[in-house]
Amino acid sequence: MGATAAVSDRGVFGVEVHRPRTVDEALHLRGQHPDAPYVAGGTWVMRAPQRGEALPAHAILLNGVAGLDHASIDGTCELGALVTLAHIAAVTRGAGDLQALTEASSLAATPALRRMITLGGSLAADAFWASDIVPALLCLDAEIVRQGDLITGVRISRTGKASCHERLTWRSGGEYSVASVSIARAGDSLRIAIGSVEACPRRWTELEDAAGSGPMTPERLRDLARSLVDDLDAVSAPGIPADYRRTVLPEVVARATARIA
């Protein structure tokens, strides 16, 4: 019973759940309860106690909201906020320009979690430093689509040539990465994003600028990355000090570059 009791704490019982059917209803409820988080797959909000955070008094459950589960890559890539990582991986598989998205969504977390974690939840998770999907979206220059304060999906112009997502982990998966790099090649230039290094994933524009339109070889990108890592505000975690992340990041950059060169 001990393990079950951990789930059945008063926290989850104390949340008043609202279940809108439309985006307008969801926005109206948010107006009434400004501190209520939107809940999609549930994997972020349900783990609030494990992060040392209190569960909210109100929550707005989105799984019944119509029109947020579309997924299409014809012409423009359009993904609704309720699309899961597993669905993203399935719908983008085989599209070379979107490969960073395919790999990020098929390598993050675990098979069961990938069927729960949604695109919208991944974007709304507050400062989730180890996200894989966010660096992939950043390197693809994805546009977040909103109605009011609700993320309803993303749109990606398919102008790139190739992309990939490289992540360094202790094991093959099922864990946060030590460092991840998403790279997209568009013409002569690269868009590079990093995750699991700083407090929040971001485009590594300093490296993009340094790379310019010069040769995109793994060796050159590794050397450029090495010259810039000391400026990164890397995070420490048990077993993974900040210096280690800075040390391995250039190698992850080189591996990713080699795959799209």
One-letter amino acid at 35 equals D
Enumerate residues 6+ apart whose C-beta is below 8 A from 246: 197, 229, 230, 232, 234
Helices (H), the chain: 2-7, 10-13, 23-32, 85-92, 99-107, 111-114, 119-124, 133-139, 205-211, 218-228, 242-260
Among 29, 61, 137, 224, binds another protein (CB under 8 A): 61
Q: How far is the CB of 156 from another protein (least distance, A)?
A: 25
Quote the least distance from Cβ 112 to another protein, whole Å. 5
Q: How far is the CB of 212 from another protein (least distance, A)?
A: 38
Nearer to another protein, 2 or 75 (CB): 2
Among the residue ranges 58-66, 154-162, 185-193, 219-227, the one whose residues contact another protein (CB under 8 A): 58-66
Query: Can you tell me which residue has the tokens 């993050």?
Result: 108
- Closest residue by Cα to residue 191 from 207, 175, 178, 176: 207
Name the 3-class secondary structure at 212. Answer: coil
Residue (59 or 207) nearer to another protein, CB: 59
Query: Binding string, 4-43, against another protein, x = CB under 8 A?
Result: x-xxx---xxxxxx-x-------------------x-xxx
Alpha carbons 115 and 110: distance in angstroms, whole number: 9
Q: Quick one: 18 or 222, whose CB is closer to another protein? A: 18
125 scored as a contact of another protein (CB under 8 A): no
Q: Alpha-carbon distance 182 to 104, whole Å?
A: 9
Looking at beta carbons only, is 11 or 218 nearer to another protein?
11
107 CB-side CA count, 13 A: 25
Using CB under 8 A as the binding criterion, the count of chain residues that bind another protein stands at: 37
Closest approach of another protein to the CB of residue 231, in Å: 33
Of the residues 31, 96, 111, 148, which one makes contact with another protein according to CB under 8 A:
111
Strand partners, 195: 180
CB of 48 to another protein, least distance (A): 10
171 binds another protein (CB under 8 A): yes
Q: Between 3 and 127, name the residue whose CB sits nearer to another protein.
A: 3
| DSSP track, 46-96 | GGTGGGT-PPPSEEEE-TT-TT---EE-SSEEEEETT-BHHHHHHHHTT-G
Please identify, among the stretches 46-54, 151-159, 229-237, 244-252, the one whose residues bind another protein according to the rule CB under 8 A: 46-54
Strands 58-61 and 38-39: parallel
67 vs 174 by CB, closer to another protein = 174
State the residues that interact with another protein by CB under 8 A.
3-4, 6-8, 12-17, 19, 39, 41-43, 45-47, 50, 55, 59, 61, 63, 86, 109-113, 115-116, 171-175
